Amino acid sequence: MIGTDAVLAGVDVGGTNTKVLLASPTLDVVDRIDLPTPAHAGGAAIVGAALGAVTELLERHGGSLAGVGVGAAGVVDADTGTVLVTGNSFTGWAGYGVVDAVASALGVPATLDNDVNAFLLGEVATGAVAGEPDVLGMTLGTGVGGALVLGGVLFAGPRGAAGEIGHVPGFGDALCTCGQVGHLETIAGARGIADRHAERTGRRLSARAVAEAARAGDPDAAAVFETAGWGLARAALLTAGILDVTTVVIGGGIARSWDLLEPATARAIAAEPPVSGASIRLAQSALGADAVALGAAARVRDLVLGGAPAL
């Protein structure tokens, strides 16, 4: 049981920054700290920096720490609490036993999830799709990540790759960062948006600058976002057709251009609605930069309360 003075810690480990927050058992944020991730100093240093922030927050606010949830970029084994694979943004992170290190240091239960899974758990627990039992989550950052909640439970799949809609083919013929061709990431991630605009114009702009140009009436920039919206619609329609999941929550930096993405996505869905006749609900993340850390906190809360097990 969680006591009345209990708090939960949620940690979001990114390649550049780590966000650490304290939350109440109802997932109200008490306080947060953002700090640089010592990404090339090894797993012990990465976890140590996060634990230092947890300790600082506890010293500020008191309370009894009930558990720590961690969301981390890369491929993780949630069963063993270990990071399996990371990009070149990290050194000495793959293979590190995060859960064992956190639990040993603080003496409380700990959980580990992929950051996109944690994002979706946060939005389902207390965000834009709170209480929804069946949801596709997509994060539009440098690339495109995906996750699924089915029947109110995170569905990771037998190999942990369920929901990875960003790396499904059928979205054109551009080369993806993973080495394959035509993935959603090539048209809806920040790198893909910049690349597609450069192909059309010969000018290299950031995805944010492409969005600004689209708002200013640049037809090439507008076309790039129209294509991104078509891709998001196709992802939603594939999910609706295969799983009968018709609620989609979208986060990440590119989702801040919701004024461009949402109309384009809605137009594409209206042109080819689900065969079931059900309407698709598109929601922008309500938790913003807190989503991953809050989702991690929600996961460890479920573990401590004896609810859904850590997957």
Between 45 and 157, name the one with better pLDDT.
45
The chain-wide mean pLDDT, for the chain, equals 94
Residue in 167, 177, 170, 127 with CA at minimum distance from that of residue 147: 167
Six-digit token string for 204: 């290299």
- Cβ–Cβ under 8 Å, residues 80 and 96: no
* 21-40 mean pLDDT: 96
Given a cut of 60, whether residue 258 has pLDDT beyond it is yes
- Tell me whether residue 202 is exposed, middle or buried, using C-beta atoms within 10 angstroms of its C-beta: 0 to 12, 13 to 18, 19 or more: exposed
* Residue 275 in this model has a pLDDT that exceeds 90: no
φ/ψ of residue 9, rounded to 5: -110, 135
Residue 43: both structure tokens together: 């797993």
pLDDT at 1 exceeding the cut of 80: no
Model pLDDT for residues 14-28, shown as the tens digit of each residue: 999 999 999 999 999
- pLDDT of 159 reads 79
| Residue 4 confidence (pLDDT) above 80 | no
SS3 198: helix
Instruction: Give phi and psi for 148, each to the nearest 5.
Output: -130, 135
Give residue 157's pLDDT.
Answer: 87
Q: Is the pLDDT score of 2 beyond 70?
A: no
Distances (CA, A) of 179 to 34, 53, 153, 186, 285: 33, 37, 31, 11, 29
In angstroms, the CA 236 to CA 230 distance is: 10
pLDDT class of 307 with cuts at 50, 70, 90: low
pLDDT at 179 over 50: yes
Residue 255: pLDDT above 80? yes
Long-range CB pairs of 83-87 (<8 Å, 24+ gap) are 83/43, 83/112, 87/15
Rounded mean pLDDT, 208-226: 98
For residue 92, the model assigns a pLDDT of 95
Intra-chain end-to-end CA distance of the chain, in Å = 20
* Dihedral angle sign, alpha carbons of residues 112, 168, 275, 224: positive
Q: Can you say whether the dihedral through the CA atoms of 121, 124, 125, 129 is positive or negative?
A: positive
Closest listed residue to residue 4, CA positions, set 23, 27, 32, 25: 25
Percent of the chain with pLDDT over 70: 97
pLDDT tens for each residue of 99-151: 999 999 999 999 999 999 999 999 999 999 999 999 999 999 989 999 999 99
